[in-house]
Every structure is written in C-alpha cells, then in structure tokens.
Amino acid sequence: MNNDCPTITKYAQQSPIPRKILLLLKRAAIIQEPLTQEDLIGLQLMEQVWGNKAVLRSQISRMSVNARKKFVQTVALNSKWERYAYSRYFNQKSGNRLSLQQVIEEIQTTFRFELTTHQIIRIRKIRTQAQVARHREKKKSDQSELLRSTN
C-alpha cells in the first residue's frame, strides 16, 4: 500500500481481506477511517495469515464440536438474517409447519428492513438447505440407533 493512508474501501479493493471484515474491525475500533500507518502495518500482517489453514484450525479448535458443526453448516451464509432464517428452519420442531411468510415477517421485524424479491428467493434456498441438513442428520441418527440396537 502507498503512504497516503487509503480509505477502507480502497484498501479492500487491493487486499485479500474483505471490506466487510475491515468494516467490522472499524466498528470494533481496531482500525480507523482513513487508515493510519499503524493500521496499514497491522493489516499487512493480517494479510500474511489470512486464510492460513493452520491458523484457522487453531481458531476453530477452541469451539465445541457442536459449535463447529453449526459453523460449517452456515459458513456460506454471509449475513445475520440469512443465519437466522437457517436456524429457524433447521431448529423447527418435527411435525410443526413454519411458513415462509412467518420467517419473512420475523426477519423484517427483527432486523428492521424490508426484504427484496431476491432476498425472499434466497430465504427459499436457505429453507431447502436447512431441510436437507435436518433430513441428513435424522437419517444419520436413525442409522446409529439401528446399529446400537442390533449390537
């Protein structure tokens, strides 16, 4: 990076660190806008370890096994409202119906924004993803119970 202290947006265009993460660091008061020389030094260090599997493994190993599983299931869900929708569908009680409209209303109330058509389509995909994960988990637990009962 050059010495004229770029903005977070300009830095994100040249960095492997996503803008969203840089903004999170700013909200946590770890970096400033515009970036200072100290911020740039820290971010350059962070770039060197960004995505390193050994570093990620060490960070994830501190989570419980269940937390790791949940994390991996939702790692592709970038926003809080997407993870909320996934957890609502994944954790719903067996036999109960959870309508798409109910989840849409909950998201709009909780996160205080109006969902677009594209976002509603995204919720449908998330619902399918959660239902498939639930089915696989149930099938796996049924098979393990069957094995235990035959032994």
pLDDT tens digits for range 40-64:
999 999 999 999 999 999 999 999 9
Using pLDDT thresholds of 50, 70 and 90, give the confidence band for residue 151. low
Helix, strand, coil percentages in the chain from 3-state DSSP, rounded to 5: 70, 0, 30
> Of the ranges 51-60, 65-74, 142-151, which one carries the lowest mean pLDDT score?
142-151
79: alpha, beta or left, given left = phi > 0 and alpha = psi -120 to 50? beta
pLDDT tens digits for range 98-134:
999 999 999 999 999 999 999 999 999 999 999 999 9
What does the pLDDT read at residue 143? 78
Calpha distance 74→89 (Å, rounded): 12
Here the tokens at position 35 are 């970036």
Calpha distance 142→41 (Å, rounded): 53
pLDDT tens digits for range 80-106:
999 999 999 999 987 888 999 999 999
Quick one: which of 90, 94, 83, 102 has its CA closest to 134? 90
What does the pLDDT read at residue 3? 55
| Virtual torsion, Cα 134, 51, 84, 110, nearest 10 deg | 180
